[in-house]
Structure 1
Amino acid sequence: MAEKITDTWLVIPLYNEEPVIAQVVREAREVFPFIICVDDGSRDNSAAEASAAGAYVVKHPVNLGQGAALQTGIEFVLNQTDAKYLVTFDADGQHQVSDALMMRNTAEEKNLGIVFGSRFRGTPVESGWLKRITLQLVAYLSRHRTGLHLTDAHNGLRLLRRDAAGAVNLTQNQMAHASQIMGQLAATKLPYEEVPVHIRYTDYSRAKGQSLLNSINIVVDLLFR
């Protein structure tokens, strides 16, 4: 049995992920027993599935956007727990628990305030060439805007120490939150590191067809805001 990590909470924004969320939560809880899912006005049984699998669940009565869900989850961890770290983690099965554990251990060993995951270090990226180019453009623009030297600036898998999480105040609810959180974390000047992670592009996540559009929206945000 894997060692249980009790100083770290997973924060999972949740919107219409009924087919997969129970499996995501069950798998994660084998290592991270404490998980907060923020149901962002789902129209299906996502919240009930997450709760039955063992997650704490907070509900937004209407869909507010991923940024709002992340902010609610971060505030829950800071106000309701004494966690040392939190990890932002996707609900659709793309993130791996082993990567989250590696990020937490890296932060412990090196006294880091922030650990960013990168799809472009380590194993080859499974996504198409257009998405890879778009993500690399996002990273280039983000480096110039924030000063953070990252290869994958908007990967949703990130670890925040408690002091870093306290600096996050997301007011951009849709995809613009991805740029906002980077700026706020850069402003903390806390020590950080980028580590390789593997994103699983499953048939389920590909069928949703949102990933490339989200990346393009981030590019537009970085260019015109």
Structure 2
Amino acid sequence: MESAEDSAVVLLPTYQPGGHLPELADGIRAARAGTAVVVVDDGSDPAAAPMLTAVAGLGCTVLRHPVNRGKGAALKTGFRHIAAAYPGRDVVCADADGQHSVADVLRVADRTRDAGRAVLGVRRFAHMPLRSRIGNTATRLLFRAATGRRVGDTQTGLRGFPGELLGWLGSVPGEGFDYEMNVLLYASRRGLPFDEITIATTYLDDNASSHFDPVGDAARIYWRLLRFAVSSRAPARVR
């Protein structure tokens, strides 16, 4: 049986968290005793203090940005902390807004450990809100055109990474939601493999709690994809 010292660290970036944050953290620690959970608060206002206090009371590490810097910045803060505090441990990143189940977080952790490579939790498109489905379809097609690789869900927030990749993850550019696309693009350029597993996703109020800007954030993601396609010298090869 895997010990707590060897298990993946769960990283939860959050901004203006609600009650789903302590619920998820508590569920993870209850399902797999001793699992380390690191929460990075990306500059939430004082109203978030009770939720952050609650997760700290559960034994989670809580790191805080004094101002909102973006999801990519929050992830990289978490990666740096985990690399220093839990050297060599795998990391599973999950959204803290109720989208991801405890079971799927642990499934991604287990696959990352067993495969020794990055793992993406792929959502079922039929269950996505329309705006998410359209955006993800567009980015999947552009990603394939730019890299020659098929990815089932380019915008998933549930991802597992082997511990050896943390230093590299900190070097990938991007501070906002574009960072997660950059990770896939730079991984493709380096030839890094990744697995995919299908996950269930719960959308509350048509994903109203999401802080993704469908105009500004989407534009930055498409710009990254186009720049990558133009700068890539190797011809795309469809797999």
Does TM, normalized by the shorter one, top 0.5?
A: yes
Say whether 1:132 aligns with 2:137: no
Q: Which residue of 1 aligns with 2:235?
A: none
Give 1:28 shift.
1.6
1:211 to 1:69, Cα distance in 2 relative to 1, 3 A: closer
Q: Which residue of 1 aligns with 2:119?
A: 115
Q: Is the 8 A contact 2:24 2:101 kept in 1?
A: no
Name the Cα RMSD after superposition: 2.6
Q: Which residue of 1 aligns with 2:175?
A: 173
Give 1:13 shift.
0.6
SS of residue in 1 equivalent to 2:208: helix
Greater mean alpha carbon deviation, residues 213-222 or residues 34-43: 213-222
SS of residue in 1 equivalent to 2:121: strand
**Equivalent residue for 1:68, pick from 69, 73, 97:** 73
Q: Is the 8 A contact 2:13 2:42 kept in 1?
A: yes
SS of residue in 2 equivalent to 1:207: coil
The AA in structure 2 aligned to 1:152 is: D
Q: Is the 8 A contact 1:39 1:60 kept in 2?
A: yes
1:164 to 1:175, Cα distance in 2 relative to 1, 3 A: same
Q: Which residue of 2 aligns with 1:8?
A: 8
Q: Is the 8 A contact 2:22 2:55 kept in 1?
A: yes
- Work out the CA distance in 2 between the residues paired with 1:71 and 1:20: 22
- Work out the CA distance in 2 between the residues paired with 1:56 and 1:62: 19
The AA in structure 1 aligned to 2:119 is: V
- Work out the CA distance in 2 between the residues paired with 1:167 and 1:209: 27
SS of residue in 1 equivalent to 2:55: helix
1:35 to 1:139, Cα distance in 2 relative to 1, 3 A: same
Which TM-score applies when normalising by structure 2? Answer: 0.80
- Work out the CA distance in 1 between the residues paired with 2:133 and 2:213: 9
Give 1:180 shift.
1.4
Q: Which residue of 1 aligns with 2:233?
A: none
1:147 to 1:76, Cα distance in 2 relative to 1, 3 A: farther
Larger Rg: 2
Q: How many residues align?
A: 219
Which TM-score applies when normalising by structure 1? Answer: 0.85
Q: Which residue of 2 aligns with 1:20?
A: 20
Q: Which residue of 2 aligns with 1:197?
A: 199
- The answer for unaligned runs of 5 or more in structure 1 is none
Give 1:199 shift.
1.2
Give 1:210 shift.
4.2
- The answer for unaligned runs of 5 or more in structure 2 is 228-239
